[in-house]
Amino acid sequence: MQQEIVLHVKNLSTTFRTDQGSLKAVDGVDFIVKKGEILGIVGESGCGKSVTVQSIMRLYDEKKTVSYQGEIFFENKDLLTLPYKDMKRIRGEKISMIFQDALSALNPLMKIGDQITEAIHIHTKADRKTAIAQGIEMLRQVGIPAPEKRFYQYPFELSGGMRQRVMIAIALVCRPQLLIADEPTTALDVTIQAQILELMKRLNQELNMGIMLITHDLAVVSETCRRVLVMYLGQVVEEGTAETIFNHPGHPYTKSLLESIPMIGGERGQKLRTIQGTVPLLNQIPAGCRFAPRCLKAGERCRREMPQLAPFKNEHCVRCWYPNESDGS
Amino acid sequence: MNEDRQKILETKHLKKYFSIKDALGKQTGVVKAVDDVSLTLHKGETYGLVGESGCGKSTLGRSILRLFPITEGEVWLEGNDISNLSPGQLRPYRKKMQMIFQDPYTSLNPRKTVGETLEEVLKIHGEKNRTVREEKCQEALRTVGLRPEHYNRFPHEFSGGQRQRVGIARAILVNPSFIVCDEPVSALDVSIQAQIMNLLDALQEEKQLTYLFVSHNMSVINYIADRVGVMYLGHLVEEADTEELFSNPCHPYTQALLSAVLQIGAVRKERIELTGELPSPLHPPAGCVFHTRCPYAEQKCKEKPVMPRELSPGHFVACSLYGS
């Protein structure tokens, strides 16, 4: 059975105009998000994962700094051509977003309850009473104990995990079809991280929405997502199911990234495998394959020609001239 | 075996309390950030200190370095009691103990070149000859894998990993025997994190360094540490050799912490979900500090504090499940 497609991003590029010339932070990204699935996007800092999702929400200043190419289809409309007024109605109602640092994303001068009902008042015609009831119900749903009391408290009175739950409640109160979570657990402790990821998985099932989970932590993705995109320097370098990517990575970048993580129960005292060099700056993008200067397998062709994201095996695409013919399968 | 090895650092019942004052300077409360912690580090060993944010692990590291006065207890460095020395008396010992900070972006002075930052350390420790200073700094840069031309550059010209290398160069410049590494890889990307951990490992081997490695990341600790201490609300709740701790965690908090760690490709363990959050250190629970979140808590846990017990050689647990 074909799952319904919520979001279809086609050949998206985001270019920033800066003093150093124009920088293409996202370069030709394609993907889809289906209803009821969690799609993971992973990569190191500066690989364009946050820019990709903020482009979907069109959060950048389009008059001065940024220009988009490509198409983003949501409900049969191209978000990139929508007038600003219509875009405003989609944000928070149909697509909402949660950010990494809940303390700075919440308004410190507003009570939790007012911040939740604000979204309801903007997007629906609900009266005050219904909005409050909905808000309290939402807080209960994200697992906040004594929601009637918390509703009237300020963000500083809550712990980090609770604030992140409030953020999720605000994002979900209008029942969006798509939730974008940008590093939702990075600022949290492991025990709290586990609670929040469980919550997101549960809500994903209950509300049947699409979730995009952006993170640099491969373990978080392996725990929560079914499909994964790996990004490097503004491009998708590998796409596939979490199982394939973590067990049989096709791209040398994914493979070395996985090898450089210390594992509990792994060989201690052994040298960790590393990736040589660092991620180049956006104004120093190498010709040919962008990973070639750091790749151990790179050959003459890699330095000359850019490979395309090509189907490798079932549901598994790799952007590499010489993908790993992996063990067994 | 442990007895023959040289003790580099020892803390005895170390306590660090911060007093909370109101606007008029009247004391209104006390935060017990580190409460009665005793630990011993031997030469060439890495002691990993884990715990969630707010458990006092960084405060412990800083108290040991005497970055602020300690409330009670003793710190012994290479057989000398340094807990009550004045700043002047402490200076010779400062050469023996150094620190690597978490955030390489804020721990380097943005208006000084790397060379100036490094030379400052030698100036403070009385090296008057400029050529000697520069030579020593160049050598430290080489040791941490930076190039000579980096000497005249400013921090903003470096990537995060390179800045952390500068931080390490600054720490090893005076040939210390003991380094506190406070979350040195937490701010770095995974591929860079591995490079820095390999570097710390190689330096330890070469110079026989002793590390106190503070981190919240269990897999990093598992990789780098020889012994591990788990902290909760200012208390050391469990301590053991790394393999023992990870294969046989005894304290309910350690068990929950380990079960919450996400691992790629690992068999899904039954997750022990801790209810609630870390209590405020301003009002720590009476008795065992963990009893408010502990799945096995009984009446006696709420009444009297538990003392650490040695379960097997070198494995200490502070929990009444194992006798009190």
What does the H/E/C string look like for chain B?
A: CCCCCCEEEEEEEEEEEEEEECCCCCEEEEEEEEEEEEEEEECCCEEEEECCCCCCHHHHHHHHCCCCCCCEEEEEECCEECCCCCHHHHHHHHCCEEEECCCCCCCCCCCCCHHHHHHHHHHHCCCCCHHHHHHHHHHHHHHCCCCHHHHHCCHHHCCHHHHHHHHHHHHHCCCCCEEEEECCCCCCCHHHHHHHHHHHHHHHHHHCCEEEEEECCHHHHHHHCCEEEEEECCEEEEEEEHHHHHHCCCCHHHHHHHHHCCCCCCCCCCCCCCCCCCCCCCCCCCCCCCCCCCCCCCHHHHHCCCCCEEEECCEEECCHHHCC
Is B197's CB within 8 Å of A266's CB? Answer: no
Average pLDDT over residues A106-118: 93
More confident residue, B112 or A269: B112
Mutate to test the interface with A, among B223, B246, B271 (most CBs of A within 10 A): B223
Q: Are residues B133 and B271 in the same domain?
A: no
Q: Are residues B169 and B180 in the same domain?
A: no
Read off the pLDDT band of A103 (50, 70, 90). Answer: confident
Task: Please give the residue range of the domain that contains residue B124.
Answer: 110-173
Chain B nearest-CA distance from A276, in A, is 8
Q: Tell me what the pLDDT averaged over chain A comes to.
A: 88
Structural domain count, chain A:
1
Average pLDDT over residues B91-111: 90
Q: Does any domain span residue B289?
A: yes
Q: Does any domain span residue B105?
A: no
Is B216's CB within 8 Å of A190's CB? Answer: yes
Q: Are residues B315 and B246 in the same domain?
A: yes
- Report the CATH number at residue A19: 3.40.50.300
Q: Tell me what the pLDDT averaged over chain B comes to.
A: 89
pLDDT on residue B203: 94
Does the pLDDT of residue B259 top 90, yes or no? no
pLDDT on residue B169: 94
- Report the CATH number at residue B46: 3.40.50.300
Compute how many other C-beta atoms are within 10 angstroms of the C-beta atom of residue B212.
27
Read off the pLDDT band of A223 (50, 70, 90). Answer: confident
Residues of B in contact with A218 (CB under 8 A): 190, 264
Q: Is B249 left (phi over 0), alpha (psi -120 to 50) or beta?
A: beta
Q: Does any domain span residue B102?
A: no
Structural domain count, chain B:
2
Read off the pLDDT band of B104 (50, 70, 90). Answer: confident
Largest interatomic CA distance in chain A: 68
Q: Could you report the per-residue pLDDT of B276-319, keeping only the tens digit for each?
A: 777 877 888 888 999 988 888 888 888 888 888 999 999 999 99
Residue B170 to residues B139, B151, B173, B213: CA-CA distances in angstroms?
11, 12, 5, 17
- Percent of chain A at pLDDT exceeding 70: 96
Residue A171 to residues A87, A116, A117, A224: CA-CA distances in angstroms?
16, 8, 11, 19
Residue B247 to residues A264, A266, B240: CA-CA distances in angstroms?
10, 12, 11
Is A258's CB within 8 Å of B264's CB? Answer: yes
Read off the pLDDT band of A269 (50, 70, 90). Answer: low
Q: Are strands B315-317 and B97-100 parallel, antiparallel or unpaired?
A: unpaired
Q: Does any domain span residue B101?
A: no
Read off the pLDDT band of A278 (50, 70, 90). Answer: confident
ipTM of the complex as predicted: 0.77
Q: Are residues B157 and B214 in the same domain?
A: no
pLDDT on residue A268: 66
pLDDT on residue B265: 67
Last residue of a domain, one of B141, B173, B205: B173
Average pLDDT over residues A292-317: 88
Nearest of B260, B229, B243 to residue B56 by alpha carbon:
B229
Query: CA nearest B189 in A: which residue?
Result: A44
Does the pLDDT of residue A13 top 50, yes or no? yes
Read off the pLDDT band of A267 (50, 70, 90). Answer: low
Q: Are residues B213 and B194 in the same domain?
A: yes
Is B264's CB within 8 Å of A261's CB? Answer: yes
Average pLDDT over residues A111-122: 92
More confident residue, A324 or B108: B108
Read off the pLDDT band of B1 (50, 70, 90). Answer: very low
- Ranking A229-233, B192-196, B239-243, B263-267 by mean pLDDT, the lowest is B263-267
Q: Are residues B130 and B240 in the same domain?
A: no
Q: Does any domain span residue A204?
A: yes
Give the number of beta-carbon pairs within 8 Å between A and B: 112
Does the pLDDT of residue B269 top 70, yes or no? no
Q: Does any domain span residue B1?
A: no
